[in-house]
Amino acid sequence: MNTDPLPQPELLGVIASFEGPESLLEATMQARMAGYERLDAFSPFPIHGISEALGLRRSPLPWMVLGGGLVGIGLALGGMLYINVFEYPIVVGGKPHGALEPLLPITFEVSLLFAALTAVLGMFYLNGMPLLHHPLFRLEGFARTTDDGFFLTIDASDPRFEFKETMGFLESLGGKSVMRVEA
Amino acid sequence: MNLSIVEPRLDGQQNPHSRMTEGLEYHRLTEQICGIVERPVPRWWLPAFLTSLAIASGALFAATYLISTGVGVWGENQPVGWAFDITNFVFWVGIGHAGTLISAILFLLRQKWRTSINRFAEAMTLFAVACAGVYPLIHIGRVWMSWFLAPVPNANAIWPNFRSPLLWDVFAVSTYATVSLLFWYVGMIPDLASLRDRAVTRPRQVIYGILALGWRGSGRHWHHYEIAYLLLAGLATPLVVSVHTIVSFDFATSVIPGWHTTIFPPYFVAGAIFSGFAMVITLMIPARELYGLKDLVTDRHLDKMAKVLLATSLMVGYAYSVELFTAWYSANLYERFAFQNRLFGPLAWGYAIMVLCNVAIPQLLWLKRVRESVWVLFVISVLVNVGMWFERFVIIVSSLERDFLPSSWGRFIPTWVDLLQMLGVFGLFFSLMLLFLRFLPMVALSEVKAILPHPSHFKAGHTANESVQAVSRAKEVQAS
């Protein structure tokens, strides 16, 4: 029985370090083949093929960006037409109030602006950023993930997660310094 | 907890093909680039920064004088209503274009050599656009009315004219500035995280920590990040072409002979890329020298940039000749005169400088020896900057000085305020560049690491498919 008067920190998962992009990719594939689902691979740069190895679905970002661009078109075109036709109708160059041609450059720019903002904010949203602190940051060597470190984590919430077994599994994949991640 | 999850780094000579060297190679890059920001400033930095700042204060003084007195302090008067202000505006916007070209278009074309210069070029873009933005703001004279440019009804309940190229320009340039900033920042997030993770002082930890937004190199994050970066590159590409096109509309849609021509959009875009590449070379050569980055920004990079310079010089030269041909072929009296005036009129010396610097001298770049001698390349790039400034000056001023009626011809002579403003904005540009070099990673670390040659069997392209197949096979086995 637990005699420690202090409450045990919650176990979030286990982490192991790997030597390079290939071994991390290999380990990720092996872990997925062994049935683990809630994995994450950490690396200083994007590793080609890691999304597939992690079993990630295509990012919905392109559709979000398309939506942002369309909203931009609607807002710019609709707004300018409303102003030119109803709010402040004035003849410029003898053209009809509702002429579309002179509105195209601004519509194009506003559409691009909305699309670009959606791309950035959408990426932040999908990645849960900003998140200034994360339990992983408490592991001292983890800082090397932005330098030359390659890590694989398996979440404790994974259906196949068994603490001892999973630790052993990561070691069998060639993971170094396998350890707990605590909240 | 004070546990380390990684083995201590092995140093010393290793087999160059072992995996350990690969790790060391990543680490060496991090040291090299982050070190620039972390080590004490080099001795030349502070004097250089203070000098730039002193020059930049000239711009502040000139602008203050202008605003408090009126635009009459500039040399502009009827018939020359646009001169140094718009010349410098177009000059700086054009400079910016090379940054976007390098970071977006070369990215889409999978030109991997771009990775060691793109961050630097993007910073240049951003600061050039900031410098450009100074001019439209102050040239309106009564700056407190600059909000009339915004798409809101003004104090007299009058809306801005959305059919005017000048308003298109407001939207184009402000969109360009915003998207350039986003592209630059998003590209920098992983490297800001590197700086955060290496920071030893509290202020650095906090500032880089906030800027990095909690980036931790997660594969799930890279997944969306890469798509976002690709999309931004795809958006920036049509944007950069549209910006100088719209800038050229400011002239092309007018009725002034010498401005009213359909060749302007492509001509301006080519010129912008030309001048921008020249500026990248001008800045990159001293920077790589001062920071010892010759293994990242190699002679091969300079060679490629020199070739882009040569190609765009030919495009610009072609535009100059087509312009002359069209003037002659149009058989239009005013159009013909505008170009006679440009070649032989009071600004003929400006036209001569323009052709010499933009078309004649860059032909030297055909020679491999010239492209390889760094300082000759440097001098050529500076001359191209000069030539491109004169291009805009000649187009704008010579066309306005002598248009239809000889009785309303005039001359433009810059005043000291014009000159101080122009000089000061150069100071502003260099101050911003120096601050960037001091505080932000000047090479895109994560991108350079990703293209380092991997020593072992790691073959990009095959691995992704293999992993998908392997995983789906395993799933089938489990299911059965």
Q: B191-212 pLDDT, tens per residue? A: 999 999 888 899 999 999 999 9
The amino acid at residue B124 is M
In a mutational test of the A interface, the residue from B467, B475, B478 whose CB has the highest number of chain A CBs within 10 Å is B467
Kindly state the average pLDDT of the residues B88-111: 87
Domain count, chain A: 2
Domain C-terminal end among A127, A142, A161: A127
Is residue B341 one of the residues assigned to a domain?
yes
Domain presence at residue A88? yes
Please check whether residue B285 lies inside any domain of the structure.
yes
- Classified as helix, coil or strand, A17 is strand
Last residue of a domain, one of A100, A127, A154: A127
Please check whether residue A5 lies inside any domain of the structure.
no
CB nearest B2 (choices: A15, A133, A140) = A140
Quick check: is A1 in a domain? Answer: no
Smallest Cα–Cα separation from A106: which of A67, A85, A139, A78? A78
> Does B34 map to a domain?
no
A84 shares its domain with A52: no
Structural domain that includes position A97: 63-127
pLDDT of residue B21: 47
Q: What is the pLDDT of residue B17?
A: 40
Q: Is residue B461 part of a domain?
A: no
For chain B, what is the mean pLDDT?
Answer: 86
Give the domain range for residue B140.
59-456
- Give B41-70 as a DSSP string: PPTTHHHHHHHHHHHHHHHHHHHHHHHHH-
List Cα–Cα distances, B157 to A178, B148, B152, in angstroms: 68, 10, 9
Domain count, chain B: 1
A47: its two tokens: 């590793």
In a domain, A122, yes or no: yes
In a domain, B177, yes or no: yes
pLDDT of B10 reads: 39
Q: Assess whether A144 and A100 both reside in one domain.
A: no
Identify the band that residue A133 occupies on the pLDDT scale cut at 50, 70 and 90: confident
Query: pLDDT, tens digit, for every residue of B242-285?
Result: 999 999 999 999 999 999 999 999 999 999 999 999 999 999 99
Partner residue opposite B161 with nearest CB, options A92, A116, A139: A92
Query: Which CATH number fits the domain that encloses residue B334?
Result: 1.20.1630.10
- Residues A175, A87 share a domain: no
Quick check: A44 and B216 CB within 8 A? no
Query: Which chain A residues have a beta carbon less than 8 Å from that of B177?
Result: none
Q: What's the mean per-residue pLDDT of chain A? A: 89
The kind and range of the H/E element at A41 are: strand A39-42
Query: In the beta sheet, which residues pair with residue A154?
Result: A14, A39
Q: Tell me, yes or no, whether A67 and A120 share the same domain.
A: yes
- A39-42 and A176-182 beta bridge pairing: unpaired
User: Are residues A48 and A135 part of one domain?
Assistant: yes
Residue B457 pLDDT greater than 70, yes or no: no
CA atoms within 13 Å, Cβ hemisphere of B385:
21
A6 in any annotated domain: no
Domain match, A44 and A69 both? no
A1 Cα to chain B: minimum distance (Å) = 24
Q: Choose among A87, A73, A114: nearest CA to B161.
A: A87
d(CA A139, CA A125): 25
Please check whether residue A4 lies inside any domain of the structure. no
Confidence of residue B476 (pLDDT cuts 50, 70, 90): low
- Predicted structure pTM score: 0.87
User: Are A55 and A136 in a shared domain?
Assistant: yes
Q: Note the pLDDT of residue A2.
A: 54
Whether B52 maps to a domain, the answer reads no
Q: Is B20 within a domain?
A: no
Whether residue A76 is found in the same domain as residue A109: yes
